[in-house]
Every structure is written in C-alpha cells, then in structure tokens.
C-alpha cells in the first residue's frame, strides 16, 4: 500500500491535489487501468477509479480503523456500559393515542422495595425539540399524550424487573380525546388539535414557494402531465436498540453516554430541559451506534429522563429500550402524498413544474419543518426545471412522530418525479434514459430554486448503468414478466445551514501531535457504522505520510471534542474532512519549518512520506516523523492545531432557502431488473446496477459498502417496509417487532453492481462528496419503472405489495387505467405563494472560482 | 424483585464458570451481565434478529431464547472465543478486510452463524450461505460483503496456503 507514497513527488503532492480540487473538473475523470487490488475488493470498482499518483493514498481500499474491534466484539455500544451502583430505568408509556393526563399516582410504585425514584412530567416541565421552531416535546407527558407509546413516567430501580414492576403500579387517570388518525382528518377544522400552534386545523406547517411563472410555462407547454403518488412511511430499524447511561457525579457534573448520532444537539436539549444545570457541566458522549440511518438524531425522552433520575438519585442510571419502544421512538420516513404537474416540450424536456406534497408527521414536530421543505428542494438539481412551484404541508396525527430517515424527505418526491418522467417518456415514445440525458442540470450552475450545483457526474452515472445492464439491448425484450427500469437522484453532502441559527463553523477538528510520532484527532463527529472514524484517520496519511493506524481518533464527546454538528445529512466526509485538512495543513507547516531549520533546507522542499520527513532533493537526508514532532515541539512548544469548516453561504435569500443548499451534490443512476409473477403479484428484484458520483472515493471499501447498504434499504422500502397502524381509531402499531415489520433478509437481497464515478467537487476535500444516503433514492422508482417494463402497469405507491400489482393488472385487463395508486389529493389550504422569482443570471463562473470564493471553504494542504 | 436463584456451571469459550443468577435469566443476559461477555448483542430479545446468536456444541442457538440451566455441561462459544489469542479467526479477518462489518452490531451473530456453516460445509455455495445466514438481520451492509467475506474465509481455510488468515491482529495493519 505504500507504493503510492514513495512515488509521490513533492510538487505533485501539493499542487496536484489543489489542481484536482480547484481546477475545472476534468470532463471525464478517467484514470489509468486498475491496479490489481487485494482479494475481491476490486470486483465492483469502475476502471476509472484508480487515483492519479498524487492521490494514491486517498482512494485506496483500506480496512476501516475500527474493524478489528468490531469483528472481535470489543466495540463498546451504549448498552455494553456498566457502572458501579448502576440503577435501571423503565418508562411507563401511554396505551392511548390521544388523551389528557388528569392525574398520576406514583405512591404505590415508590413504595416498592428497590425503587429509588419515580418521575413524571411535572419533574421535567420544560419543552424541547430538535428544531428551534418546534419545541413541542416533553420528556414525560405534562398534560397530554399524543400517541400510543408516548412516555408518561419513569422509574429508577435496583434492577430491570423491579423498575418494570414499579411502572405497573403507577396509576394514571386519562381523559380520552378523539384521535386524529389520517391526513384527511388532520385537515378538518372540527377535530381536536394536537398542538396549540398550527398553521390551521392540525396542519403543522404549510409552505408555498414559487420560482418564476409556472402557470404560464404550463399553459404554453406541448404536453402537461399530472400524476399522483404515495410513499408509505417506514422506519430505520437499526439493529441496536437505543440505550443511554447517565451519571451525575460528586462534582455535580452530568455525563450521558448514548447511542446518538448528534451529541451536540442532545447536549443543547439537556441544557435546556435540565436548567439551571449549566451546559458547561453537561457532557454527552456518543457511543458507536449500532446503526443510525437518522433514527438517533433527535434528543429522546429516555435520554433526558435517565439524566434527571441520575441527578435525583445520585447514582448512574441506564436504560436500553425494548424493540417495541424503538418503534415508538420512530422519527422515520414520513408517509407523503404527492401531486406532480409538469409541462413538457415534444422532445420531453421540462418547461415548468408544480409539485405538491402532503406529509403525515405523526404526533410531534421533530425535524418535520425541514422534512417538509426537503420534499420540495432537490427536484431541480438533476434535470433542468426552468420554473418551479412547490407547495408542501405537514400535518399532526396521533401516531409516533416521523423525522429524518436516510435521504430525509427526498426519497418520496424523487420516487414521484422519476416515475412521472418514465410515464412521460412512454407517452412521448422517448427512451426514458434519453429523456433524462437531454435535460441534465449543467454543472456549476444555479437551479430555479437558487441551489448552487457544483460538479455533476450524472451523465456518466447514467451511461455506466445503461452499459452495465445492456439497457438498449435488453429493455422491453426480457420476456413475459421481466423488465428493466431506470431512475436517477441527487443528494446533499451536508446541509448548508445548521439546525439552529448561528454563524459558527459546522465542523471543528483539533490535532495533538506527540513525541511518539502518534497523533490524536479530536472531532465531534460520531461513528454510526458508516466509517467516519476511518475517513477521519485517512486524511493524515495523505498530508503527512503517516499510517492511519497510528492516528488515534477521539470523536463525539462534548467535553473533549470541538463541536461538529453530528452524523446526519451526509455531512461528515465533506465538512469534517475539510476541517481535518485545515488542521493537518497547519500542523504540516509547523513541522516543515522546524525540520527545514534543522536540516537547513527550505520547508517547501520537504516531503512527508513513509513516516519520515525528508529533503526531496536528497531523500536520505531527513528525520523520522517522531523526530519531526520533537523538533517542532522544541521550537514552538506543545504542537497542536485546529481546523474548522463552514459551508459557503447559500445563494438563496428567501424564507425557506435554508433547506436544500449544500456545498456539493452527489448523483446516482440506477437500473433495476425485476421479475413479476402475474399470478401472485409478487415482485422479485434479482439485480441492480447502480452508479454513484461520489466526487472522489476516499475509501472505496467504505464507499461501496454505503452504496450496497443504500440499495438494500431502498429495496426494503420499495418491496415491503412500512409502518402500519391498526385502524379502529386505536392507532396501535400493527407490527412493533422485527418479525412483523418486514425487512429484506439474506434471501431477498439482490445482486448489486456498483460503479463509483468520480467527478471531483471544488468544495469537497480532495473533491469528495457524500455516499451514505443518495444511492437509496433511485432504487424504489427504478423498481416501479421496471415493473411497468415487465407487465405494463404503474404502481404509483410503495411498498409494492402483491395485492397492488394484482389490482393494477386487473385494471389493465378490464381496460381501465393500468395503475394502482392514490385517486385524489385532498384540498389543502396552502398559503399564498411566496413569489421568490428566479435567481439573477450569474456570469458564467469559471469552475473552481467557487472554491476560492467560498468563505471558509475547504483549504487543502 | 428477583425470585428464585440458580447455581450454574457454564462452560464458555473453553473456560468453566460458576455463578448464581436469577432463574428467569436467559443465556443472553447471563453472558452479558454476569460473565461480562458483551460481545454478544441483542436487537429484539424475541428470537427475531440473530444478533444474539452463539454456538452450543457448534450449533447456532439464539441466546435470547435459551435458558442457561439447560446448557450446563455443553460448550458455549461467543464472539470472544473466536480468535486464538491475538490470531484472528479467518472469518474475522475476512469480515474486517472486506468491510462486512459496518456498524458491527450484527457482526458477532453473523460470524458465529458462518462458523457453524463452514464447519458443516467447508466450501458452501452462495445459495447455501444465504440460507445459513437468513436468520440474521443486518441493516447496514445489504449482506453482500458478508457473503463475500464468508467465501473468502472458506477459501483461505481450505487453502491455508494464503497467509492472510493467519496474521495476527498486531501485525495486520493494512
Ligand atoms: S436478540 Fe436474540 S434474536 Fe434478536
Ligand atoms: S453492520 Fe450494522 S447491522 Fe450489520
């Protein structure tokens, strides 16, 4: 693995990198032929993946730094932690979907031997919520419960059994309220409101943003098509159940270990709810997550209640949720009803689009306002949409709250848009791939809704999957019941704006170099299984030529690490990466000065490689990396540097412009092959080809793993995963268990051919963009489009249950519209549109100018 | 409010343990809470996910459904018992190299299920691997890297000529 470094020239090392990052992106970043890699890692790699000499260390398939801990079972997840004198906590949850809490009697529970404390809503009266605009949650219900599973009381006891027995002795008097079960009911004015502050009825949020004259564009279009779609809600189902451990020590400091993706946001919520305990006395440590997918991004009731009980009892308090409770926490994919109305020219190009969404948000706000905007944000970054109108609304219902799941609010509209385009292609007799290729959003451009697109490798992605699937030869010719479908997508590499308004960096990194030649990296990001610790350790190999395994990574600890907003919105590689590169380049400069002075050579002539720092003109003259640190320490004192990253300011200036901007967008194209059994309606997916424009693959093993994991999750959402509630107004989960919530097993997983396409983005570290979420998005629409290719019916809602396929086939046989899907879009009182208008035409920016102009944009060593 | 206590003798990873524990405890709880073997995970505690899978005399058993008193005198293997000192089991090596462990939470269960499979079928087909692992859920990897890792380990164990499976954790850096 070291050959890349020895071959590295100093000039290439420095300017080669900058060139890759800031120069105009090469039109087709083809690299040399693949070098033989270890074992099967290379199996799926696109041949152009091999990095140029200067980047040989980035882009190496490298084992993750934490892999050995994971395969030996020594990784410590939150529930693996044990402290002396630890108490166990259990929550009492509401059995009713909607009720007023009239009285709670905890005396009998408190009297039970072994019970140390019982708390209710009155002990934690301050509301909180992840978004500043939605502070609508209480750790324990104050006066009202809003879904089956809403926590009402918490008990700390010497063991789990005692705590559980105590919860059964708590008497709660409820006054039942009529529940709001569906979006239709939520839109009615005469229903009980779940929250005081709503747009109207139980409408949590309603928005309307208009960019240009859409009605005019539709009126003058050669074809206007309108379609309705529905995307059912589903949940993250992380394999690890959420767990938290709280300790309030003798110095009156609170520490909470938790399976959280966002320790910084949890820290803020704890400080708010536990006031007057100052934030500076609260420490949140994010344990490695046993899967997150967005489901561990909110501050949760059990975390807050455990902290409170630790403070009251003076003893450590732990809770691990049961699987049933994980279903109650939810925050999963919103069910979204969508109406798409688009004008087209005869050649299939879009003249204007009107997109409407209606989200069932469940009982609380969570990330819902952002989710609502996301259902309208990214339609414009893949294909040119000259004028655009988005109307979105989210309602409250008495079900567990929805929130961010992998792709946050964008898989649903992406599904609608991609199936809609497939229908138009058929209507106009144009190949669906050709229809897309004709109107790709150009790189380095602004969209109608003021998003700045940087590098854009979608064309190449489409070409890869067409080639791989032999699209032109095979589509429509696979025989009865078999078909191919195409869909594309795009996703953000980190949200351009933080959850709460501030002008501080989104990512911070501190480095400590020590005389051993080792280095410790402190960063607030969290390892949720995606390999962020590994990516964090990898940058140093490039900057300094030291082995990533000599790097110690300390992450996700609010006491020790500088703030990073957390592992969500696919932000870690880009944002944390840029911060890390800045810290690394500063440290490199210090070391180079010290070593240069020692050797009597100008610092610019020094090379960092192979754990050494040496003169490029006389490579045998040099010092070990450890000696370099000693020299720097002797000269400058303790060696430590910092780096930070703030995304470039978003071009949009309108209210709502905060959702959608990102320093860079990843792109994905996907072809799915399906087999449809026309007797049973069962759809099988034997194979998927997927190409993802990742900007730069920092570690192909991790990247391919993220792509395959995304395909898997998209497959599950397309075919089987759904949150279902029993009707009859009880709104109990139909399936709060892993057995009944169907997810793909090893038997259902399809074959996946992955292509990583590299179109480096000027804002990404070494050009890198996200990979963790985007590849999920095109999978469901590709499958639905393939079903149409196979049997000639469109299933306009997912999951694709067999009964839906059968109903559509029946409709087709009877000469009705060959589809299954929603029939109507209920009347929603969207506000009058905010007439934002189109962005000012910008003078064609030289590519790369963005990187130079981007405030705080990634600097590179 | 523990009820009855049991006195147990359990053999785990080749070590004999004696302990007293509440009679309702599952093997999963005894392993994690009484023996400190937290490598065994849980995702449901209802026999639905496979995260808690251990081997009993080489046969896969869901520890969340097993009662320890019935397993006295049997040989229980957990993930902690896979490596031979610092030498990783070829399955562990292959899982680490190929990225078959992302969050790693499902990994112990998969490793043990795969070990049982390879003991029976040293060169399993992809289909046999799928069948053998169908009771274990993984939400991160999409299973494909896991299949590849089992195949790689099988090849190495058969060949043993490849040194890959035999390197120690300490020297195995790349
Ligand atoms: S914890 Fe035993 S099968 Fe899930
Ligand atoms: S690696 Fe996360 S569940 Fe399998």
Contact A293 B139 (CB under 8 A): yes
- Residues B46 and B11 grouped into a single domain: yes
Please check whether residue A547 touches B, CB under 8 A: yes
Whether the Cβ atoms of residue A129 and residue A121 lie closer than 8 Å to each other: no
Give the DSSP letter of residue A687.
E
User: CB of B138 closer than 6 A to ligand 2?
Assistant: yes
Kindly state if the Cβ of B155 falls inside 6 Å of ligand 1.
Answer: no
Are residues A236 and A437 in contact, defined by beta-carbon separation less than 8 angstroms?
no
* CA distances (Å), origin A346, targets A350, A435, A665: 10, 11, 29
- Checking A310-314 for CB contacts under 8 A at 24+ apart, the result is A310/A246, A310/A247, A310/A248, A310/A254, A311/A248, A311/A254, A311/A274, A311/A277, A312/A117, A312/A119, A312/A123, A312/A156, A313/A87, A313/A116, A313/A117, A313/A156, A314/A248
Indicate whether B95 and B166 sit together in one domain: yes
If one looks up domain A81-177+239-291+296-329 in CATH, what number appears? 3.90.1170.50
Asked if pLDDT for residue B121 goes beyond 50, the answer is yes
CB-based contact A240 B105, cutoff 8 Å:
yes
B83 with A739: Cβ contact below 8 A? no
The answer to whether A797 touches A230, Cβ cutoff 8 Å, is yes
Pairing of strands A751-757, A683-693: parallel
- In the reported structure, the alpha carbon of residue A302 is separated from the centroid of ligand 1 by a whole-number distance in angstroms of 22
Residues A592/A595/A600/A605 CA torsion (nearest 10 deg): -40
- Across the interface, of A162, A289, A701, the residue whose CB is closest to B103 is A289
Best residue among B46, B78, B109, B139 to mutate for probing ligand 1, ranked by most atoms within 8 Å of CB: B46
Is the domain of B53 the same as that of B128?
A: no
Residue at which a domain ends, from B35, B59, B81:
B81
Residue A8 has pLDDT above 60, yes or no: no
Lowest mean pLDDT among A34-38, A173-177, A775-779, B10-14: A34-38
Q: What does pLDDT average to over chain A?
A: 88
Quick check: A61 and A705 in contact, CB under 8 A?
A: no
At A10-32, the pLDDT tens digits run 232 222 222 222 333 333 333 33
How far, in whole angstroms, is CA A850 from its chain's centroid? 25
Distance CA A180, CA A691 (A): 42
CA of B50 to the centre of ligand 1 (A): 5
> What distance in Å separates the CA atoms of residue A770 and residue A494, rounded to the nearest whole number?
8
Q: Residue A18 has what pLDDT? A: 25
Token pair belonging to A409: 């609010």
Please state, in angstroms and rounded to a whole number, the distance separating the CA atoms of residues A179 and A730: 8
Of the candidates A31, A13, A32, A541, the residue with the CA atom closest to the CA atom of residue B174: A541
Is B137 close to A288, i.e. CB distance below 8 A? Answer: no
pLDDT in tens, A281-312: 999 999 999 999 999 999 999 999 999 999 99
Contact A531 B102 (CB under 8 A): yes
B65 alpha carbon, closest ligand: 1
Q: Quick one: tokens of A375? A: 């259902």
- Determine phi and psi for B40, rounding to 5 degrees: -75, 125
- Is A256 within 8 Å of A267 (Cβ atoms)? no
Structure tokens at A522: 């402190």
Q: Which of A350, A333, A331, A332 is nearest to A342 (CA)?
A: A350
What are A205-214's pLDDT values in tens digits? 999 999 999 9
Which chain A residue is nearest to residue B99, measuring alpha carbons? Answer: A701
Fold (CATH) for A51-76+504-645: Aldehyde Oxidoreductase; domain 4 (3.30.365)
Q: Which of A501-505, B82-86, B165-169 has the lowest mean pLDDT?
A: B165-169
Question: Which residue has the CA at smallest separation from atom 3 of ligand 1?
Answer: B47
pLDDT per residue over A683-741, tens digit each?
A: 999 999 999 999 988 888 889 999 999 999 999 999 999 998 887 667 777 778 999 99
CB–CB contact A708 B144 (8 Å): yes
Angle value at C-alpha A780, between A490 and A202, nearest 5 degrees? 85
Does the beta carbon of B42 sit less than 6 angstroms from any atom of ligand 1? yes
Task: Identify the CATH number of the domain in which residue B155 sits.
Answer: 1.10.150.120
**Which residue of chain A comes nearest to B145, CA vs CA?**
A705
Give pLDDT, residue A372: 97
Domain A336-497+663-823 in this protein, CATH class: alpha beta
Q: How far is B51 from chain A (nearest CA, A)?
A: 8
A158's CB contacts (< 8 A; 6+ apart) are: A87, A88, A114, A116
Same domain, B72 and B16: yes
- Interface contact flag, B49 A752, Cβ < 8 Å: no
Of B2, B108, B148, the CB nearest to A73: B108
CATH number at B44 reads 3.10.20.30
Check residues A314 and A542 and name the one with the higher pLDDT. Answer: A314
Residues in B closer than 8 angstroms to A321, CB to CB, are: none
Q: CA A95, CA A194: separation in Å to the nearest integer? A: 17
Q: What is the DSSP letter of B169?
A: T
Chain B closest CA to A633's CA: distance in Å? 28
Where in the sequence of chain A do the CATH 3.30.365.10 domains occur?
Answer: 51-76+504-645, 336-497+663-823
Q: Of A240-244, A661-665, A855-859, B4-8, where does the model show the most confidence?
A: A240-244
Tokens for B104, please give them.
Answer: 């790693």
Q: Which residues of B touch A66 (CB under 8 A)?
A: 104
Torsions phi, psi for A417 (to 5 deg): -65, -45
CB contact (8 A) between residue A165 and residue B1: yes
Give the lowest-confidence range in A802-806, A850-854, B45-49.
Answer: A850-854
Interval between CA B67 and ligand 1 midpoint (Å): 14
Where are the CATH 3.90.1170.50 domain residues in chain A?
81-177+239-291+296-329
Q: Which of A823, A817, A813, A794 is nearest to A683 (CA)?
A: A794
CA distance A353 to chain B (A): 35
Check CB contact under 8 Å for A71 and B101. Answer: yes
- In order of A342, A361, A409, B158, the CA distances from A398 in angstroms are 34, 9, 20, 57
Residues B108 and B141 reside in one and the same domain: yes
Q: How many CB atoms lie within 10 A of CB A7?
A: 12
DSSP string, B60-95: EEEGGG--GGGGTTSEEE-GGGTSBTTBPPHHHHHH
Last residue in a domain, options B81, B103, B137:
B81
Rounded average pLDDT over A219-238: 97
Nearest-CA distance A296 → chain B (Å): 14
Structurally, chain B folds into a number of domains equal to 2
Query: What span, in angstroms and rounded, lies between the C-alpha atoms of B9 and B22?
Result: 14
Higher pLDDT, B116 or A54: B116
User: Exposed, middle or buried by CB within 10 Å (0-12, 13-18, 19+), for A384?
Assistant: middle
Domain limits at B14?
A: 5-81
Interface of A with B in 360-379 (CB under 8 A): none
Strand runs labelled E in A694-765: 751-757
Confidence of residue A759 (pLDDT cuts 50, 70, 90): very high
Report chain A residues whose CB lies below 8 A from the CB of B38.
73, 76, 80
Same domain, B77 and B143: no
Here the ipTM equals 0.91
Q: Please check whether residue A432 is in contact with residue A366, taking contact to mean a CB–CB distance below 8 angstroms.
A: no
Q: At what angle do helices B144-159 and B126-133 cross, to 10 degrees?
A: 120
B73 and B23 in a common domain: yes
pLDDT > 60? residue A860 = no
Of the candidates A43, A68, A712, which has its C-beta nearest B96's C-beta? A68
Structure tokens at A397: 């219902």
Q: Which residue has the tokens 């607030």?
A: A524
Using the atom order of ligand 2, give the atom closest to the CA of residue B110. 4
Euclidean distance between CA atoms A769 and A130, whole angstroms:
26
pLDDT of residue B131: 98
């Amino acid at each position: 693995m070291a050959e890349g470094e020895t071959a590295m020239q100093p000039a290439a090392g420095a300017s080669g990198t900058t060139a890759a990052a800031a120069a105009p992106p090469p039109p087709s970043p083809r690299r040399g032929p693949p070098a033989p890699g270890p074992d099967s890692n290379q199996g799926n790699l696109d041949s152009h993946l091999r990095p140029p000499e200067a980047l040989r260390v980035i882009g190496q398939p490298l084992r993750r730094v934490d892999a050995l801990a994971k395969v030996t079972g020594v990784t410590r997840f939150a529930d693996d932690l044990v402290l002396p004198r630890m108490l166990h906590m259990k929550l009492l949850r509401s059995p009713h979907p909607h009720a007023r809490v009239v009285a709670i009697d905890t005396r009998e529970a408190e009297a039970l031997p072994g019970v140390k404390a019982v708390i209710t809503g009155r002990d934690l009266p301050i509301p909180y919520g992840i978004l500043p605009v939605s502070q609508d949650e209480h750790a324990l219900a104050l006066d009202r419960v809003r879904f089956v599973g809403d926590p009402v009381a918490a008990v700390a006891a010497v063991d789990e059994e005692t705590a559980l027995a105590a919860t059964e002795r708590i008497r709660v008097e409820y006054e039942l309220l009529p529940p709001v079960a569906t979006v239709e009911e939520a839109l009615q004015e005469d229903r009980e409101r779940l929250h005081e502050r709503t747009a109207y009825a139980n409408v949590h949020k309603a928005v309307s943003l208009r960019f240009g004259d859409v009605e005019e564009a539709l009126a003058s279009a050669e074809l206007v098509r309108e379609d309705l779609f529905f995307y059912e809600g589903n949940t993250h189902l992380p394999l690890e159940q959420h767990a938290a451990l709280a300790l309030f020590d003798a110095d009156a400091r609170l520490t909470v270990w938790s399976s959280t993706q966002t320790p910084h946001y949890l820290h803020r919520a704890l400080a708010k709810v536990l006031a007057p305990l100052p934030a500076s006395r609260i420490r949140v440590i994010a344990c490695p997550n046993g899967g997150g997918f967005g489901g561990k991004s909110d501050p949760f009731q059990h975390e807050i209640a455990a902290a409170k009980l630790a403070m009251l009892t003076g003893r450590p308090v732990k809770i691990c949720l049961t699987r049933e409770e994980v279903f109650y926490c939810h925050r999963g994919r919103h069910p979204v009803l969508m109406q798409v109305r688009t004008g087209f020219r005869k050649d299939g190009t879009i003249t204007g689009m009107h997109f409407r969404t209606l989200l069932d948000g469940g009982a609380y706000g969570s990330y819902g306002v952002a989710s609502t905007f996301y259902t309208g944000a990214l339609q414009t970054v893949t294909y040119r949409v000259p004028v655009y109108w988005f109307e979105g609304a989210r309602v409250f219902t008495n079900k567990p709250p929805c929130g961010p799941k992998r792709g946050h609010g964008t898989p649903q509209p992406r599904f609608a848009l991609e199936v809609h385009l497939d229908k138009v292609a058929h209507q106009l007799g144009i190949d669906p791939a050709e229809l897309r290729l004709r109107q790709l959003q150009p790189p380095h451009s602004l969209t109608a809704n003021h998003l700045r697109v940087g590098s854009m490798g979608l064309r190449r992605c489409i070409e890869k999957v067409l080639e791989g699937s032999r699209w032109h030869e095979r589509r429509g010719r696979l025989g009865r019941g078999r078909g191919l479908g195409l869909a594309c997508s795009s996703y953000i590499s980190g949200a351009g704006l933080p959850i709460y308004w501030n002008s501080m960096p989104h990512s911070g990194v501190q480095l400590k170099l020590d005389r051993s030649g080792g280095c410790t990296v402190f960063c607030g990001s969290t390892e949720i299984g995606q390999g962020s610790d590994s990516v964090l350790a990898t940058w140093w190999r490039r900057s300094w030529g030291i082995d990533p395994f000599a790097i110690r990574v300390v992450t996700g600890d609010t006491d020790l690490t500088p703030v990073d907003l957390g592992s969500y919105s696919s932000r870690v590689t880009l944002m944390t990466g840029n911060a890390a590169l800045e810290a690394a380049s500063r440290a490199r400069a210090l070391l180079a000065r010290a070593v240069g002075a020692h050797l009597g050579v100008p610092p610019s002539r020094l090379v960092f490689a192979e754990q050494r720092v040496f003169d490029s003109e006389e490579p045998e003259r040099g010092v070990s990396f450890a000696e370099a640190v000693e020299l720097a320490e002797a000269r400058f004192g303790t060696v430590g540097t910092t780096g930070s990253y703030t995304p470039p300011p978003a071009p949009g200036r309108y209210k709502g412009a905060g959702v959608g901007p990102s320093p860079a967008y990843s792109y994905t194209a996907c072809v799915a092959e399906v087999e449809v059994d026309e007797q049973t309606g069962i759809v099988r997916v034997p194979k998927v080809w997927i190409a993802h424009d990742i900007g730069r693959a920092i570690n192909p093993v991790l990247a391919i793993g993220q792509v395959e994991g995304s395909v898997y999750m998209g497959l599950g959402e397309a075919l089987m995963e759904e949150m279902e509630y029993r009707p009859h107004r009880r709104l109990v989960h139909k399936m709060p268990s892993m057995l009944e919530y169907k997810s793909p097993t090893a038997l259902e997983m399809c074959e996946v051919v992955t292509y990583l396409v590299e179109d480096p983005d000027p804002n990404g570290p070494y050009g890198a963009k996200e990979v963790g979420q985007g590849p999920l998005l095109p999978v469901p629409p590709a499958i639905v489009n393939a079903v149409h290719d196979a049997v000639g019916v469109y299933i306009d809602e997912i999951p694709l249950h067999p009964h839906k396929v059968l109903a559509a086939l029946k409709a087709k046989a009877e000469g009705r519209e060959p589809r299954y899907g929603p029939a109507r879009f209920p009347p929603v009182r969207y506000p009058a549109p905010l007439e934002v208008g189109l962005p000012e035409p910008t003078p064609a920016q030289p590519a790369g100018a963005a990187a130079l102009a981007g405030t705080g944009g990634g600097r590179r060593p | 409010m523990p009820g009855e206590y049991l006195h147990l003798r359990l053999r785990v990873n080749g070590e004999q343990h004696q302990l007293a524990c509440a009679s309702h405890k599952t093997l999963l709880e005894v392993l994690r809470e009484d023996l400190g073997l937290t490598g065994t995970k849980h995702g449901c505690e209802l026999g639905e996910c496979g995260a808690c899978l251990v081997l009993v005399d080489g046969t896969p058993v869901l520890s969340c459904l097993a009662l320890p008193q019935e397993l006295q005198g049997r040989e229980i293997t957990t993930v902690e018992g896979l490596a031979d000192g610092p030498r990783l089991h070829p399955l562990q090596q292959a899982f680490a190299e190929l990225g078959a462990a992302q969050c790693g939470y499902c990994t112990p269960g998969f490793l043990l299920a795969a070990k049982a499979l390879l003991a029976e079928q040293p060169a399993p087909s992809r289909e046999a691997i799928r069948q053998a692992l169908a009771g274990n859920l993984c939400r991160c990897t999409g299973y494909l890297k896991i299949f590849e890792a089992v195949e790689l380990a099988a090849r190495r164990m058969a060949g043993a000529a490849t040194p890959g499976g035999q390197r120690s954790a300490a020297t195995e850096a790349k």
